[in-house]
């Protein structure tokens, strides 16, 4: 086929055509699944599961906070002063709306709202940790660290 070209006028002999034979089925053995060290495992958010009431209350207080503060003035403050200002306003909103919260719940709510307003929201606790180098958020429910 890829040999020398014949210069004579005679045609090259035709190759015999064989009927295709069915190939024997090949059984593939499953490859062992090893953990890939480059692929990070999904990690659940470190925060506890909260009720729908908590998120409704947080939304109500967050809306009242946004109406009450001047964002342009808040942007001029440093981080710690802005947090203190937001904490004072949230404590005032909680007392005006007669919301009943334990001190621990109130602190969690204050931290959540401050992180939402001044930082990266629920990622702030992860960013504060020294042992985490990378965070990849893939949708609303999947976070890889």
What digits encode the pLDDT tens for the residues 76-133?
A: 889 899 999 999 999 999 999 998 888 999 999 999 999 999 988 888 998 989 999 8
Q: Is residue 6 part of a domain?
A: no
Query: In this structure, is the dihedral angle defined by the CA atoms of residues 82, 75, 134 and 58, taken in order, positive or negative?
Result: positive
Task: Specify which residues 143 forms β-bridges with.
Answer: 137
> Residue 93, Cβ neighbours under 10 Å: how many?
19
> How many structural domains does the chain have?
1
Q: Does a structural domain hold residue 88?
A: yes
Tell me the pLDDT tens digit for each residue of 22-62. 555 556 655 555 555 555 555 544 556 778 888 999 999 99
CA distances from 18 to 3, 15, 21, 43 (A): 21, 9, 9, 59
Query: Which domain range does residue 140 map to?
Result: 52-144
pTM of the shown model: 0.61
């Amino acid at each position: 086929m890829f040999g020398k070209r014949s210069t004579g006028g005679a045609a090259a002999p035709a190759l015999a055509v064989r009927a295709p034979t069915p190939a024997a089925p090949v059984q593939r053995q499953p490859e062992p699944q090893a953990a890939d060290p480059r692929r990070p495992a999904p990690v659940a958010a470190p925060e506890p599961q909260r009720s729908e009431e908590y998120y409704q209350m947080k939304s109500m207080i967050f809306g009242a906070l946004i109406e009450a503060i001047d964002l342009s003035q808040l942007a001029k403050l440093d981080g710690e002063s802005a947090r203190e200002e937001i904490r004072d306003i949230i404590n005032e909103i909680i007392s005006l709306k007669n919301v009943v919260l334990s001190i621990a719940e109130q602190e969690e709510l204050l931290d959540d709202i401050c992180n939402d307003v001044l930082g990266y929201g629920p990622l702030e606790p992860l960013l504060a940790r020294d042992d985490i180098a990378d965070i990849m958020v893939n949708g609303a429910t999947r976070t890889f660290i």
